[in-house]
Structure 1
Amino acid sequence: MSTAIPIQPLQGAARVWGTIALSTATFMNVLDTSIANVSLPAIAGDLGVSPNQGTWVITSFAVANAIAVPLTGWLSQRFGQVRLFAASVFLFVIASLMCGLAPNMATLIAFRALQGFVAGPMIPLSQSLLLASYPRALAGLAMAMWAMTTLVAPVMGPLLGGWITDNMSWPWIFYINVPVGIAAVTATWAIYRKRETPTRKLPIDSFGLGLLVVWIGALQVMLDIGKEHDWFASGAVITLAVIAVVGFAVFIAWELTDDHPVVDLRLFARRNFWAGTLATSLAYGLFFGNIVILPLWLQQYMGYTSTDAGAIMAPVGLLAIVLSPLVGKTVTQVDPRKYASFAFVVFAIVLWMRSHFNTQADFMTLMVPTIIQGIAMAFFFIPLMTITMSGLPPERMPAASGLTNFVRITAGAMGTSLFTTLWERRAAFHHVHLSEMINPGSIAAQSTIAGLTSSGLTNEQALAQINRIVDQQSFMLAANDIFYMSAVLFLLLIPFVWLTHPQKSSAGAADAAAGAH
């Protein structure tokens, strides 16, 4: 196409600063998906609501973000990729400022929803603009730069959020976005404003958009309230599930027959796209479910502060940062399916190591698997994104990136909800079995009670102390069960990777950017 001729790869310092600007905006966005997690007790206490109500601070962002991400393709064709990205970052800064100034929980939730919605196009467009900034031969390196920010930010979120909450006040988790966002949007506009993509006026699929809002909203709220309402024992959860399923079915039928769909589901006709998206999303759901469980266990049952729990999670970025550029440079010479399979094997080894944790585990024992996990992170995203995007023409890249990111975000939300529920149910199962051992016929139980009462505790206080120990052991065993199950599931995901057909040529990763078909 003649319209694509003027947009050549960036050179020298412009490419370096362009990469930094796009990565900074992406980092800020991804950071905000997790930075509020450890601050929830402080936010809920300050605004006078329960911690359960406080979780809507996270959910409102996730729902709005999941709805906005698939709209990226339509919006970028309507307004242009550069203008849309700059507007997304600028509005994100405004919404962040409003979140920090929110006087009550209802206002905070509303501004978090706005923040999530305007953030939607940011990640897919950062991919597209970054790939267009590099020559085809360096497309793998471009993906490596992008992947590093998306891998490190979720881990840094709890660490940074905990430190800010402990040493400053919770509004600053939002205020820090203001200078960062302004710097990112200024640099992006200066470098990319003359590289705007062609635009065309497309009609908006308002009915499809309405269906998307309904079924995604119902699904996310169902996942959020399911645990506290005992899932399908609750009429509200069943109603939400029916709305989500029926809405999803009608949405699929409508989008496949509409001339200008709000989400381009025809992308799933490509084997590499559907198989790559499936492998990425299932793996991300497993990964995200596990990185939620670990800090919860450390904080609630091992006595770790939020900052210390974040410190155990943070080293995952070390090897990821070192190895990602190497993977990016070599993914054109090596079958990316081999890299992705290797990543899944390393994930399985890490989770198998964690399945052997006990309540006596020290800081280093807990940290070693996290450090090793950095290897898996480096070999995970880049090869799978290379496979998923291979063969796509440039004009379909924003829609494809938006759709695959949407499925991944949704899988992460489902993984979080399902894993925390399973963790509690397995803990209840172990609690019953451990409690059966505490009876008048157990010499160990009676000697423990005698020891506690001789130290000055009443019989009831001694039993309460034992119950706390049983609780701690139950949740540890439940975490071990989940880690072991996840290790097995990662190995079972490997065949999904081999359903894809990677590019035969050495320009395989570059074809992910430019498209050869």
Structure 2
Amino acid sequence: MSESQLHFPPLPAGERLLATVAVSLAIFMYGLDLAVTNVSIPAIAGDLGSSISQGTWAITAYAVGNAIVIPLTGWLTARVGQVRLFIASVLLFTLASALCGLSQSLEMLVFFRCIQGIVSGPMNPLAMALLMQAYPPQKAAMAMGATMMTGMLSPALGPIMGGWITDNFSWPWIFYVNIPVGIFSAWVSWRLFQHRETPKVKQPVDYVGLGLLVTWVGALQIMLDLGREHAWFESSLVIALAVLALTGFAFFVVWEWYEPHPMVDLKLFTRPHFSIAVALIGIANIPYFGNVVLTPLWLQNTLGYTATLSGSVVMVGGIAMFMIQPLVARWVPQLGFRQLAAIGLCFMVLSAYMRAGFTPGVSHGDLLLPQLLYGIGTSAMFMPLVLLAVHGLPQWQLAGATGLNSCVRTLTTGFGTSIATTLWDQRTIHHHAQLTSHITLYDSVPMQATSGLGNTVGGEAALNIVERLINTQAQTLAVNDFNIFSIAMFLVCLGFLWLVKPGKAEPAGTAVHALDH
């Protein structure tokens, strides 16, 4: 490929701003649908005549379809073209959203949710690639910051918006809201990017690689979704899915490595910077997304917060990301990848350390500072690592690289959710057993407290109050345990971060305009 085929000049300032808005709306819509359905499952299940456990397949179907297609972004881009694929992804996602809202049975909803996940696969990585090319080298970090901030805010806003829409309208509207957003994003993006299309390259279809990818990713996602419900590896179904995922992954790696025209370009992992950055992003994403899932659950189910009030706590981190993002984009070239990512990880360790000491009596104000630090740390850590992943890559490899990076983040999001909820369940049981072991007929303090409550509200009511207090304490201690786990994971990332060579970075120029292959 010649340089003229691959290099596009930056868009004018006004068009860049409009492009950022249009592309960010697509990313927000994509990320929102990863989380918005969760809180609406009871309403969906009741309306469609199914159980809540059956209703969760609407979440699983989306995750499986999405995780399978994301790593195919590079291959699809080569065959279709970057701009055409992005526009098609946005429009098909919008259509699938409308069909989800029109579903009259759970089977219809699960089918269209799977379609929605499949067609949205290329959306996020291509959005990043398009904006990286639209900005001049010295400002490409700003473009990356905009996409990252949008991608991180949408999972936090999803449960709040989903609950509010379901309560005030009806569950189909969590899908209908995508229609005007998707049409606007596709129309503006086409107007701005239609003359910046990448050349199409016809390659043979790697059917074996595609089959192996569908097998291991599908088995892994279903295992992560069903594991908690089936007691993990105590279930023969979960064990079978784990073996299928592991075996399929091993065959997939070997096949794709030696296939002349692979569906997924695993040779990108021969670049040390790419491998290290993607590994660090995956490891850090586990505690990061675990916190995104666990914090609202703890605030609402344990401390009695409303969805709106818990959202106000979570949103502090999003506001911090929004405020710090321009500064981080400016600091990346000055401080370098490793230094800035290390600073971000230190903020996240400090935040997790503060949260590890929470009690059920924690005030609303005390919750905000750790979230503020977490938002600052998230922005300062993830942006340098994402830029490091594409550092030095030619423009024609950006779509494949961002696709692989997004695939790792999607898979580790599933790991983070499963680990957080499972750890919370198990550690709650552990702490509950420990706390109740101290309540005996021979321990005067709890006996006096129970007796005093019994005189006030009655014996059975007193026991119920004591049980609720114990559950609240046990669930809070379990959340603290997850934060200790988070500290350990972030410290592991700090250790691996030293594999990155120090020095000043030129992330945007080398990532976007290097054409050597």
- TM-score after normalising by structure 1: 0.96
**2:396 — aligned with what?**
395
**1:474 — aligned with what?**
474
How big is each residue's C-alpha offset from its partner over 1:211-253, in whole Å with a ceiling of 9 and x where there is no partner? 1111111111111111121111111111111101111111111
How far off is 1:45 after superposition? 2.3
Letter aligned with residue 97 of structure 1: A
Letter aligned with residue 509 of structure 1: A
Letter aligned with residue 453 of structure 2: L
* Unpaired segments ≥5 residues, structure 1: none
**2:506 — aligned with what?**
507
* Alpha carbons 1:158, 1:307 under 8 Å: kept: no
**1:484 — aligned with what?**
484
How far off is 1:17 after superposition? 1.0
**1:299 — aligned with what?**
300
Letter aligned with residue 482 of structure 1: F
How far off is 1:362 after superposition? 2.0
Distance 2:306 2:418 in 1: 23
Matched, 1:337 2:341: no
Matched, 1:277 2:278: yes
* Alpha carbons 1:162, 1:307 under 8 Å: kept: no
| Counterparts in 2 of 1:442 and 1:51: CA distance versus 1, 3 Å | same
**1:7 — aligned with what?**
8
Letter aligned with residue 511 of structure 1: T
* Alpha carbons 2:132, 2:508 under 8 Å: kept: no
* Alpha carbons 1:140, 1:510 under 8 Å: kept: no
**1:25 — aligned with what?**
26
**2:90 — aligned with what?**
89
Matched residue SS, 2:483 = helix
Distance 1:336 1:61 in 2: 34
**1:378 — aligned with what?**
379
Distance 2:44 2:498 in 1: 45
Letter aligned with residue 499 of structure 2: L
TM-align CA RMSD: 1.5
Distance 2:33 2:471 in 1: 32
**2:135 — aligned with what?**
134
Letter aligned with residue 470 of structure 1: I
* Alpha carbons 1:159, 1:314 under 8 Å: kept: no
Distance 1:173 1:250 in 2: 39
Distance 2:10 2:57 in 1: 42
| Counterparts in 2 of 1:202 and 1:89: CA distance versus 1, 3 Å | same
How far off is 1:505 after superposition? 6.2
Letter aligned with residue 159 of structure 2: P
How far off is 1:138 after superposition? 1.8
* Alpha carbons 2:11, 2:134 under 8 Å: kept: yes
Letter aligned with residue 299 of structure 1: Q
Instruction: Give 1:55-204 correspondences, 5 Å limit.
Output: 55-204=56-205
* Alpha carbons 2:38, 2:59 under 8 Å: kept: yes
* Alpha carbons 2:395, 2:515 under 8 Å: kept: no
Poorly superposed stretches of 4+, deviation over 6 Å: none
* Alpha carbons 1:147, 1:382 under 8 Å: kept: yes
* Alpha carbons 1:202, 1:260 under 8 Å: kept: yes
**Greater shift after overlay, 238-247 or 479-488?**
479-488
**2:221 — aligned with what?**
220
* Alpha carbons 2:337, 2:505 under 8 Å: kept: no
Matched residue SS, 1:315 = helix
How big is each residue's C-alpha offset from its partner over 1:370-418, in whole Å with a ceiling of 9 and x where there is no partner? 1222211221221001111111111111011101110111011011101
How far off is 1:5 after superposition? 6.1
Distance 1:450 1:306 in 2: 35
How far off is 1:367 after superposition? 2.2
**2:493 — aligned with what?**
493
**1:210 — aligned with what?**
211
How far off is 1:54 after superposition? 2.3
| Counterparts in 2 of 1:142 and 1:123: CA distance versus 1, 3 Å | same
Distance 1:47 1:85 in 2: 33
* Unpaired segments ≥5 residues, structure 2: none
**2:255 — aligned with what?**
254
Distance 1:63 1:44 in 2: 20
How big is each residue's C-alpha offset from its partner over 1:243-299, in whole Å with a ceiling of 9 and x where there is no partner? 011111111111001111111111111100111000011101110012211111111
* Alpha carbons 1:255, 1:263 under 8 Å: kept: yes
Distance 1:508 1:28 in 2: 27
How big is each residue's C-alpha offset from its partner over 1:129-179, in whole Å with a ceiling of 9 and x where there is no partner? 111111222221221222221122221212222221222211111111000
How far off is 1:515 after superposition? 2.7
**1:312 — aligned with what?**
313
* Alpha carbons 1:64, 1:114 under 8 Å: kept: yes
* Alpha carbons 1:231, 1:237 under 8 Å: kept: yes
Distance 1:512 1:495 in 2: 25
How far off is 1:465 after superposition? 2.7
| Counterparts in 2 of 1:361 and 1:13: CA distance versus 1, 3 Å | same
Letter aligned with residue 491 of structure 1: L
How far off is 1:50 after superposition? 2.4
How far off is 1:30 after superposition? 1.0
* Alpha carbons 2:337, 2:504 under 8 Å: kept: no
| Counterparts in 2 of 1:508 and 1:432: CA distance versus 1, 3 Å | same
Letter aligned with residue 115 of structure 1: Q
Matched residue SS, 1:199 = coil
Distance 1:207 1:498 in 2: 38
How big is each residue's C-alpha offset from its partner over 1:105-136, in whole Å with a ceiling of 9 and x where there is no partner? 22111111111111100011111111111122
Matched residue SS, 1:194 = coil
How big is each residue's C-alpha offset from its partner over 1:415-449, in whole Å with a ceiling of 9 and x where there is no partner? 11012111111111111111111111111221122
Letter aligned with residue 507 of structure 2: G
**2:348 — aligned with what?**
347
How far off is 1:512 after superposition? 1.9
Distance 2:173 2:472 in 1: 33
Instruction: Give 1:427-438 correspondences, 5 Å limit.
Output: 427-438=428-439
| Counterparts in 2 of 1:219 and 1:5: CA distance versus 1, 3 Å | closer
| Counterparts in 2 of 1:170 and 1:5: CA distance versus 1, 3 Å | closer
How far off is 1:365 after superposition? 1.6
Letter aligned with residue 63 of structure 1: V
* Alpha carbons 1:392, 1:516 under 8 Å: kept: yes
Letter aligned with residue 441 of structure 1: Y
Distance 2:381 2:55 in 1: 33
Distance 2:504 2:452 in 1: 72
Letter aligned with residue 465 of structure 2: Q
How big is each residue's C-alpha offset from its partner over 1:470-505, in whole Å with a ceiling of 9 and x where there is no partner? 111111111111112212321221122221236x56
Distance 1:102 1:289 in 2: 31
How far off is 1:305 after superposition? 2.0
* Alpha carbons 1:38, 1:306 under 8 Å: kept: no
State percent identity of aligned pairs.
43
Distance 2:98 2:187 in 1: 18
How far off is 1:2 after superposition? 4.0
* Alpha carbons 2:81, 2:198 under 8 Å: kept: yes
